[in-house]
Each structure stands twice: as C-alpha cells, then as structure tokens.
Structure 1
C-alpha cells in the first residue's frame, strides 16, 4: 500500500513538471511503467499543446491487496481500489465532485528489495460509489504549470528530451 501511495505522489510531480527523470519516480515505478506515463504526456502535448496539472497525488482508496497474484510469488503484489476519474485540470484546481473508478496497481520487487508499480489495469466492476468521497491531499504550494508546450521539451526517464537525438 505504501508503495502505491509513494508512486502516486511521484507520478503527479513528474506529470506536473513534464520531467519523468525525477529520482522519486524511478524509486516507485518500473522503467517500463515510467516510459508509458511519459508517452501519455507526449501524446497530450501533441494533441492539446499542454498537459493538465494534478493538484496533488491521485486520490486513491484501496479495497484489496493480493500478494503473489496469479501465483507469481511474494515479489509481486496487486493493490485494487478506487481512484479519482477526473483529478488533473487545466488550472491545477480540483473540481467539485470526484468520481471514483476501479483500478488495480501491479507491483514487483526490484533487485534492491523495493516494491515498484509496474502496470495498472482498470477494474470496471468495482463499486467505487460506495467509497465516496475519496480522500484527497493537495500539494502546498500549489503546482505551477510546467510551461512545456512542445513534445521535444518533455524530459524522458533517462534525462534526455523527446527531440531528435544526436548519434
């Protein structure tokens, strides 16, 4: 559970900055997961010229934890619960109502013994209405817009930008 909460905070900071190389994100998520999240940011900038701001970590209420899901062993876990469906906004100010949607965070232990988020999956049949309201936490101070409007300025997990790379 702590691993998911730490990842949600690190991911929100990385998304707000459009910098997916921050060490907190690398400690809480696998490289493959971080690549997927950074690709989502690049797509949002390509389509809209900007990304939205998260006012804090994605609100999350756990409902179940399964260590060794799918008989994978104790180095793997699944945490199911409800997250806010619409949390990030243009202004970074949360909207009035936050509807929950079902999600499963899949985690794996790395060679240093850290549990890190490796993937997510939607859980559409999870009754999140029964868990309203979802607990929220806001960044203080509030996040500033990253200013990134060109996909070539998004910082990749390896610290490079998305622009053309020299060979």
Structure 2
C-alpha cells in the first residue's frame, strides 16, 4: 500500500527545531501533533508503527526535508525508525522537476497547475507563529496546523493521481 507523508516543523533544520505535526495518508488522512518533546517522541513512535505494510512513501521534497528531518529527530529521540530508512520513496517534487517543464515547483504551484487548490490559504512560514500560539493553549492555532498538513496530504494524492492517470507514474 502506498502512503503520503507530510510534516510541519518549527524550523528548517532538525537541530534548530522540532516536529509539530506528522501527517500520513493511507486511505484517510491522519495527523499527529506535538507541542513538546515528549509528544514529538510519541508522534515519531506512532509514525514508526504506521509504516508497517506500506510499500512506498510519497512526499513533496521529502528527500530534501521531511525524511532527513524525521530521521534526525528520531535519532535524538531514540525512536527506532529503521523502517523509514528502508522504505522505497517517491519524491513528487523531484519527479516533477525532472519530468515537467514548469515555472515553479512548490506543492501549491504544481497543484494549481493541475487545477487543485487549497480550501484555506496558508503559508508554511505561518507554522512557527501558530505553534507558539498553540503552545500557549490556542486550540484554533493547532487546528490550523492540522488542517494545513491534511490539505498538503490531499494535494499530494491529487497530484499523484493526475500523474498516474496521464503519464503512468
């Protein structure tokens, strides 16, 4: 079974931030959130369990961000993430860069090109500010992070389906 993965973080590097949300889409999207290091460890353990039975993990720039970030955080949290290291992956961003001549390769830009769009406008840079609000008890801020992660997963699946239907990917 293929699955889609997306993460939200407080920083661009694992030594400067932590995981805020891990989203995984098998049949339905599921998102685990983290407001502290203990919750981050639990979310990483949840992901490790969820990887069982997955044959390919599909990401957007996962090879350059999501996967190295998760591996680094798993190592520091001492979570067994060997399955993540062994699992075949498909980085749709890299695939699009190599096979489609477009002017932009952000998830949003490629999704828009295929007629897919977000229901709620959101910038990835918003996650840091929303995290601080969520940390202070603002449940709506945490909900917005979850919604964003969920929408990223759905856009990923939509792009994958379009590429599969049209180009056999």
TM-score bin, normalised by smaller chain: under 0.3
Which has a greater percent of strand? 1
TM-score, normalising length: structure 1: 0.25
Bigger Rg, which one: 1
Which has a greater percent of helix? 2
TM-score, normalising length: structure 2: 0.25
